Structure 1
């Protein structure tokens, strides 16, 4: 789908902020981030519902849907309503569907996807806009996912720190993250993995808001300053952005969907349910170069 095809819903999502929703219900999890959406069957959405889901994502950064029953094709098609789909540089995928990541952890796993705070594949030159995770099986207890608002993290910085960070860029690398990560799933390593330079503070292309854009998962150093200074600033920013005041927490149930905006939110999957099984698929939507 072209950007022009999406411009209408994107514009409306801003101009209608604060107005009641007509075709879905939106129950906020916290004032800053997260909302559970009701009245929507993701396999059968009207145009107006799709517009309002665009708006709900823009206003809440991550949105959740319960009791969804999607085929692989329906999951992919829902993702395509938000843009061209992204191909993960390392993760396993469903046979015949390279855009459909497999998200799995069980008694044989030594780690789970997304254990640390991160923004998905921020090492790409054009990192993903959003991720749509459909969990079909989950443990009876544990396995929650935490989400944090990078708008709120940026806004809470002092004016002096904001001025210091303005114009700085940082390296994001996938090499240390992905090499050997999926060996147990039978996925061979590639000769190299993505690496990119992005602004430390990015401006969201839809809302115009500023958000912190460094993360523990992929960011390796800030450019243009000494290495020890970079380490100190990154350590401060990581601790700052992980403040619980900026967060919401989602408790999974079978057949739940989470859709988050990687441009302004980070997330962390809790790996506290071994040896229970968690299984699902993720569709990821392409984004643009951060500015």
Structure 2
């Protein structure tokens, strides 16, 4: 076995020095030399680390009270007189200026949870969030629920709550292995939907982005459901589908990456209800939904493929979220699916972090 489980980096005036820590196994991140003149990540504290000997017990079920349920519906602590909101689509998405996430009171955070549930995706501009440090970032995100610790992705040293998204000229393995042979790089998913209590309000902030490209596209699962006929909706309500972490874990093992928690498969309702807004939404995604319970293989594939196609083609209930320095994007994983757009130059660095609070067990729509 190779002598390393973790890589951290420290930045000098002219280079990035890669430090290898003693352990077993080889980290999945590339350790090759960086391109000439590159000074390395601007935020080396958030460079992804992978520890093959890091093991966690199964997640335990907990009681969850969505903070949006406590919110004043007029949102006086969030949408003040200085706030400007730009609606991106009638069905999904708002861009907000004049709110500082790090300065919101508990009441303001409750109102933010409600607003994200109502708008599905909220893009906050001009934030200091990326510079307030991991302790404070975790503290704020924890207001929305216990933060999920990802079983296979890179996190940061000392903070397993962080899911790090990193790619540069030499750390490009996920694109090369998973996307290279595909004609279409869109990959719709709802984060870790295989968990018994999947995420609710989710935080994503960019540390370093390419000058062009690297956006995230979102689709409203609420509007996708609303577009269906009443008779078809009745047929879907009451069905359950299996969401699986097995392929994700198997891929990580093949690539000599960590599997910190054994993969699970969980049944969730095909149509779920948001606990605060009461809206119904499809709850399936190509990333993790594998089959419909009680259906034969061909029946399940036929129905899921129709729904996946319906979601992916609904350009009139999609939005594209772009990033600037200081952008924080929040979305409700219960009501949306999303995909990265790996359309930027392979020589450019894209470095982002996700904090993923868990929510309630999905509530089934009445059959």
**Normalising by structure 2, what TM-score?**
0.72
Q: Which residue of 1 aligns with 2:357?
A: 285
CA-based RMSD: 2.5
For 1:50 and 1:138, locate their aligned partners in 2 and report how far apart those are by CA, in whole Å. Answer: 27
* Residues 188 and 46 of structure 1, relative CA distance in 2, 3 Å threshold: closer
Q: How does 1:35-184 map to 2 (within 5 A)?
A: 35-70=94-129, 71-107=133-169, 108-111=171-174, 116-181=187-252
Unaligned ranges ≥5, structure 1: none
1:31 aligned residue (90, 93, 97)? 90
Per-residue deviation, 1:81? 1.8
Query: Which structure is higher in RCO with an 8 Å CA cutoff and minimum separation 6?
Result: 1
Q: Which residue of 1 aligns with 2:80?
A: 22
For 2:186 and 2:143, locate their aligned partners in 1 and report how far apart those are by CA, in whole Å. Answer: 28
Q: Could you list the per-position Cα deviations for residues 155-192 of structure 1 after superposition, in whole angstroms to 9, with x for gaps in the alignment?
A: 000112111111110110011134334876x7323573
CA contact (8 A) 2:241 2:268 kept: yes
1:205 aligns with 2:263: no
Per-residue deviation, 1:41? 1.6
Q: Which residue of 1 aligns with 2:330?
A: 259
For 1:50 and 1:25, locate their aligned partners in 2 and report how far apart those are by CA, in whole Å. Answer: 17
Q: Which residue of 1 aligns with 2:344?
A: 273
* Residues 178 and 3 of structure 1, relative CA distance in 2, 3 Å threshold: closer
For 1:182 and 1:30, locate their aligned partners in 2 and report how far apart those are by CA, in whole Å. Answer: 40
* Residues 3 and 193 of structure 1, relative CA distance in 2, 3 Å threshold: closer
For 2:109 and 2:291, locate their aligned partners in 1 and report how far apart those are by CA, in whole Å. Answer: 39
Aligned length: 285
CA contact (8 A) 1:91 1:182 kept: no
Per-residue deviation, 1:77? 1.7
For 1:178 and 1:63, locate their aligned partners in 2 and report how far apart those are by CA, in whole Å. Answer: 31
- For 1:94, what is the secondary structure of its paired residue? coil
Per-residue deviation, 1:47? 4.2
Q: Could you list the per-position Cα deviations for residues 99-144 of structure 1 after superposition, in whole angstroms to 9, with x for gaps in the alignment?
A: 1111112223133599510100001111111221111101111111
Q: Which residue of 1 aligns with 2:266?
A: 196
CA contact (8 A) 2:102 2:140 kept: yes
For 1:111 and 1:277, locate their aligned partners in 2 and report how far apart those are by CA, in whole Å. Answer: 14
- For 2:324, what is the secondary structure of its paired residue? coil
For 1:263 and 1:30, locate their aligned partners in 2 and report how far apart those are by CA, in whole Å. Answer: 18
For 2:264 and 2:153, locate their aligned partners in 1 and report how far apart those are by CA, in whole Å. Answer: 13
- For 1:172, what is the secondary structure of its paired residue? strand
CA contact (8 A) 2:269 2:362 kept: yes
Q: Which residue of 2 aligns with 1:226?
A: 296
CA contact (8 A) 2:151 2:259 kept: no
For 2:225 and 2:250, locate their aligned partners in 1 and report how far apart those are by CA, in whole Å. Answer: 31
CA contact (8 A) 1:92 1:182 kept: no
- For 1:57, what is the secondary structure of its paired residue? helix
